[in-house]
Structure 1
């Protein structure tokens, strides 16, 4: 007999469920954003500071310059390199971002989503205070440039492994992976903490692997879903598995850079030694994020949070006869990325749709009346459909595309349920 208690999908402040007052706030945010795009409004042009305790690769300055515009929307060319000098002789200048840089980063972030969906996450995270929401939003876009998030989409597993030693090993051993979704369509990310030892790989590798998993999670969000479930499996957890750098990264990502994305964080089978650490972790959490933590002592309690038919038989006593296995890439799987003519054709089509969406949005904002625009929604649908066709040409295949979970803009999880 199932013990699962299905949660109610939130609708407050979500796309398709906005009140006239909330729609007005959204319109006002777009007016401000367009003023920044157009260079009419001044904003903090400096980059956000990097995560404390994270070691950057030695070829990357502490505050790297933003991408050159000539690199293309999903350009893979290397940015111009500054002459190499001794660290004691020169301090890398802090990058400064223009409105055009922010506009480009925004559309790269949007991918298959309705642009309003992205913006509303930041507005809700700041409780509809537009000043705070805009500051948070701009900081996240600048952070994506500084963190080079695009390379995690554009480079293949083998290319990432070459750049970040032992990158593939993180996937091969199953340290962290995405598997299935709950009845609300929220994909589930499993983190096997017992497999992590901080000294087993460079800090930058686990940093990049974590962000790579976050970006893969966005690709397997089903239509209408906005949040994910994270399961921290603490079975056999010991102090040697603790990594404060990862904890800081996890907290800052869900609080600042992927807001309103964490649905539930399940801490499973936490041993006695964990609770001393939890007293140090909890104060780091925003109260809203902290409220999303659920603690399950055993599999029976886990089954109340995750349906048994979505959990593997092995280890979790679920009903799904499945075991994680890393499927490596093939030499020719990213051949479309080399078809530059087709890529440029599709990118031109994409940019035209982006311009169309902005044009109808500017027209919509001429009358701040709290009414929705069906024309904008139709263009957003075209953006989603077009991104499915563009994907093979601008992003390298990842594990979940190889497994057939994410294909042609659709998300399909299969379960081998045993009675």
Structure 2
């Protein structure tokens, strides 16, 4: 007998369920976006500080160090104000940079869906939501998120040593979805030892998994479930850099994306660490943590039919296995002619959506625009055709889970 308790899918403030007042807020937010893009208002154009609190040498977007000495740095008095102004770096981000980053992150989603995440995360305070979104878009540029989408597993492994090893070990992966179609991400902490790979590799692998998770969000899902499996967890498995990255991503850069965070089989040693972790969490994020002491409790959060037999006492006869890239699987990315044709089609749709949206927000009336929704549908369909030309194939596409814009998990259920 199943013990699973299915949660109710939230609709408040979601696309398709907006009140006229909320729709007006959405319209007003688009006005602010266009003001940024058109250069009508000033915004913080500097690069966001590195998440890890330090600039990486290869990060072209890292802010330049402040100059406090003369031309040759010999400790003489600072240059006059006029000379200092000449030396000041040009604004790092422009309105056009923001526009480009926004459209890249939209991918197959309705643009409103993405924007509403930031608005809800800041409780419908548009000033705070805009600041949050601008920082997230600048962060994506500074973190070079594009390369995690465009480079193959082998290319990422060459740039970040032991990148593929993280996948071979099954240290972290996405598998299945709950009845609300929320993808499930499993983190096997017992397999992680901080010094076994460069810190930058685990940093990039974490962001790579986040981006793969976005591709596995079906049309009816906006959030994911994360399962931290703490079986056999010890202090040597603890990695504060990863914890900080996880917290910052879900609080600031992928807002309203975490549905549930299940902490499974936490040993006694973990609870001392939890006292240090909990204060780092936003109360809204902290409320999404669920603690399960054993598999029976886990089955109340996730159906047994969606959990592997091995280790979780589920009913799915499945074992994790990394499938390496097949020769030539990314050949479409080298077809520059077809890629250019599809990118032009994409940019034309983006321009159409912007034009219709500008007309829509010229009259703040709280009414929806079916024309915008139709263009958003076309954007989703077009991204399906564009994907092979701009995204390297990932593990989940090789598994056959993500194909032609559809997400299809299969379960080999045993009685």
Q: 2:232 aligns with which of 225, 233, 236?
A: 236
Q: 1:99 aligns with which of 87, 91, 95?
A: 95
Q: Return the index of the structure with the highest Cα Rg.
A: 2
Aligned to 1:165: 161
What is the deviation of 1:331? 2.3
Q: Does 1:418 align with 2:401?
A: no
Q: Could you state the TM-score of these two structures normalised by the residue count of structure 2?
A: 0.93
What is the deviation of 1:47? 1.1
| Change beyond 3 A, Cα 1:95–1:40 | closer
- Contact in 1 for aligned 2:60/2:142 (Cα 8 Å): no
| Change beyond 3 A, Cα 1:174–1:64 | farther
Q: Could you state the TM-score of these two structures normalised by the residue count of structure 1?
A: 0.92
| Change beyond 3 A, Cα 1:95–1:192 | farther
Unaligned runs of 5+ in 2: 65-71, 76-86
Q: 1:388 aligns with which of 384, 388, 413?
A: 384
| Change beyond 3 A, Cα 1:147–1:341 | same
| Change beyond 3 A, Cα 1:126–1:64 | same
Query: C-alpha separation between the residues in 2 aligned to 1:128 and 1:334?
Result: 42
Aligned to 1:25: 25
Aligned to 1:10: 10
What is the deviation of 1:96? 1.4
- Contact in 2 for aligned 1:46/1:94 (Cα 8 Å): no
| Change beyond 3 A, Cα 1:130–1:333 | same
Aligned to 2:178: 182
Q: Does 1:370 align with 2:383?
A: no
Q: 2:340 aligns with which of 337, 344, 363?
A: 344
Q: 2:217 aligns with which of 217, 221, 227?
A: 221
Paired positions, count = 397
What is the deviation of 1:92? 11
Query: C-alpha separation between the residues in 2 aligned to 1:64 and 1:214?
Result: 25
Runs ≥4 residues deviating over 2 A: 52-56, 58-62, 86-89, 91-95
1:294 is paired with a residue whose SS is strand
What is the deviation of 1:52? 2.5
2:385 is paired with a residue whose SS is helix
Aligned to 1:74: none
Aligned to 2:262: 266
| Change beyond 3 A, Cα 1:337–1:256 | same
Q: 1:305 aligns with which of 295, 301, 308?
A: 301
Q: 2:351 aligns with which of 355, 377, 402?
A: 355
Aligned to 1:286: 282
Aligned to 2:62: 63
Aligned to 2:330: 334
Aligned to 1:201: 197
1:229 is paired with a residue whose SS is strand
- Which digits, 9 at most, give the CA deviation of each residue in 1:133-161, with x for residues without a partner? 00000000000000000000000000000
Unaligned runs of 5+ in 1: 66-85
| Change beyond 3 A, Cα 1:241–1:54 | farther
- Contact in 1 for aligned 2:46/2:63 (Cα 8 Å): no
Aligned to 2:81: none
Aligned to 2:67: none
- Contact in 1 for aligned 2:157/2:163 (Cα 8 Å): yes
Q: 1:296 aligns with which of 273, 280, 292?
A: 292
RMSD of equivalent CA atoms: 1.8
Query: C-alpha separation between the residues in 1 aligned to 2:73 and 2:405?
Result: 46
Query: C-alpha separation between the residues in 2 aligned to 1:148 and 1:115?
Result: 21
